Amino acid sequence: MQEKLKIESSEITRLLGTVGSPLIVISELIKNSVDAEATNIEIIYNCKGNYIKIIDNGIGITLDEINNLAKPGYSSKKRNDNIRNGNGFFFTGNKGLGILSCFSICQEITIDTYVGGDKKCNATLNNAGVLNYGLSKIEDGIKKGTTITLHDIRPTDMEFLNTETELQKIRHLSTYLYKKEELFFPSISLKIDDNVPNSILFSTDFSNMLYDVEFSYSKETGKLNFKCGTDKDKVINDAIIEVSSFDINTLEKILLDNYGIEKTIRTRTNDVATYQWYTELNNVPSFEGRMVVYFKQTAGATLKQYGAGVNVYVNQFALYNYLSPDNDWLGLADFSQRKKLTNLRPHNVFGYVNFNEFNENKEELRISNERADFIQDQTFTKLMYILKGVVMFLTFNIDVAEKNPKYKVNKNDSEVSAKAVATTGDSKDSRAATITGHNSGKSNFLVRMNPQESYVKKQLNAEPNPSATNNITIAKEKTEINTDEYRPDEGYKPKKRFPKGISFSKADGVIIEQLRNKDDLSNKIYQLIYEITHLSLQNYYCSISGIYRALLECSTRYIANKYPDKITFTEKSLKDNIINVLNYYSNKKNMDKQVKIWREAITKRHLVDTLNQFMHNETEVDIDFLEQTWKSMKTYIIKCISE
């Protein structure tokens, strides 16, 4: 059986003009597989053949859906109460543009899918809008799954999808990093050419955080729940604070009553907010989120390497524009201008905001057709006020006050904390409260109290007796008065640390001198070494990080040129090229220990990825990282040029 459908090519052209990036196409196909209840999804990039495959083991595509592939905007999702798949997962989209968006990067699409009963379908849809399909009987007995292949992809698009920036983004397409314990996520792997498939579900432990901020807004109640915890030895009230009024005076009172902060600094959003922004919020959808803040020098090294920032998700999948590390959509750069000593800077803050059970057919907050961003209208402005003018305002002022005690009231910290716990609810509710506005698998935010707070609160709630009263008095006196306490004078300033810089030994110099006037590549390496050893790491760390990477690439090219039959060198991936060299050296006698050191710097410390981040975006250069890895990789450079 065969049938032909046709849509106007001008309509396709119009739709394709809204697709902002090739990765959006991949994201839409992954979401279709998730909606089809897949437990395993494979993505294959074939750069040589210029095609991409998405293979899943989901329930397939019905014949009716096949017939409607050529109808732009058609989707049966989120209509007539059809809002969840068979696994209970809220459908990720409903615009019906997933398949047609593929033509922004390819010329033809083939679909092999299970359609029900004992039938499977093979369909072809080309960029002229012509759909051909045929049905056949299933021979292998596997009644599930879909394979979608995008043919004749532009080489420039294949190259773009393989850049480190886009590969970082694909790791954060879903909320898996933050919600893997709460929701079922299918296994998703990416295979590039002949390489081993790797999972794109990036995961890491969150530890040593300066602040751990959790928040949730409920459209039904119009209330925001806010909680600020920490891994550090800080006395911060980590109870859940319920915010029901969002004007600046109320927010400042919340900081005073719950955190003892009497002097506040407003954000730019607070400066320009109108009355309507914080009073008429009934059309802002429910959302949840989390932000983790690190010290400047330890700013989530693993998170930074993999390109995580504060991303925005709708039904657990990312809006593309918020995956860019250059998009400072929370206005973090403005905070450092208002108060120099703050940890809320780009690349120190990581996290997510997710709009759970978001139904585009009902919500006033609108998403653009290409699924990259929200339509920036009045509803969007009000949403940004809650996130930037409330959540970030509270977090920013907690951070500033922790660094500057003069911003706090002149009271003992324990008194402020006890007062905060008392104002957030009774003892039972303050121990564990449920944040509103969540889907199935709701999170319980447990309130952690330090031992002294727990003891004082227990005594306050107990039956009155003279003994208990005396105990509370004693506990209070011990906190306020300590005659044996010593603190250095406030005028003391620690000595500044001056990095030693980048250098080579005299023995290395003998090898380096042999490069002079040998050939163009040798001269380039010599010049790079000249520059990197003459620049001060204290003052020119940005330049040094770039030269460092160039030196690694040139020395790797040098040894690969010498042994082209043993070492593969390509223009695409410096990391892979270095690993090829390490594989060559691992076969050498007595090189195992040294190769292990080099390999650890490349694979475990992600040296190349980190240097790329230093060069190509706003990631702040970590001087300690440069110094530490240089000790290892200097010997690699010398080894390569000494062959």
The kind and range of the H/E element at 350 are strand 349-355
Q: What domains does the chain contain, in order, with CATH numbers?
A: 5-199 (3.30.565.10), 211-446 (no CATH), 451-480 (no CATH), 506-642 (no CATH)
- Kindly tell me the burial class for residue 437, based on how many C-beta atoms sit within 10 Å of its own C-beta (0-12, 13-18, 19 or more): buried
In the sheet with 211-218, reading across from the earlier edge strand, the strands are 241-243, 223-229, 211-218, 287-293, 349-355, 310-314, 317-318
Name the residue among 167, 66, 149, 43 with its Cα closest to residue 106.
149
Strands (E), 510-605: none
DSSP H helical ranges for 442-501: 451-461, 466-480
DSSP-derived secondary structure letter, 90:
B
Predicted confidence at residue 496, as pLDDT, reads 55
407, 262 Cβ separation under 8 angstroms: yes
Predicted confidence at residue 628, as pLDDT, reads 85
- What is the biggest distance separating any 2 CA atoms in the chain, rounded to whole angstroms? 92
Q: Give the torsion through C-alpha atoms of 400, 402, 408, 410, to 10 deg.
A: -150
Question: How far is C-alpha 368 from the chain's CA centre?
Answer: 21
Predicted confidence at residue 307, as pLDDT, reads 82
239, 447 Cβ separation under 8 angstroms: yes
Name the residue among 208, 202, 207 with its Cα closest to residue 178.
202
127, 108 Cβ separation under 8 angstroms: yes
Contact partners, residue 54, CB within 8 Å, separation at least 6: 26, 29, 30, 33, 41, 42, 43, 44, 146, 147, 148
Instruction: State pTM to two decimals.
Output: 0.64
Regions of the chain with pLDDT less than 50? 74, 78-79, 413-479, 481
pLDDT in tens, 408-435: 987 554 444 444 444 444 433 333 333 3
Instruction: Provide the 3-class DSSP secondary structure of residue 443.
Output: coil
Two structure tokens written together for 372: 């990259």
- Name the amino acid, one letter, at 190: L
Q: Give the torsion through C-alpha atoms of 457, 459, 462, 468, to 10 deg.
A: -170
Contact partners, residue 69, CB within 8 Å, separation at least 6: 5, 99, 111, 123, 125, 131
Strand partners, 267: none
For the residues of 201-258, what is the DSSP string, one character each? -------S-SEEEEEEEETTTTEEEEEEE-SSS-----SPEEE---SHHHHHHHHHHH
Predicted confidence at residue 462, as pLDDT, reads 44
Measure Cα distances from 251 to 216, 235, 336, 404, 518 in Å: 16, 20, 21, 19, 68
Contact partners, residue 394, CB within 8 Å, separation at least 6: 226, 228, 241, 251, 254, 255
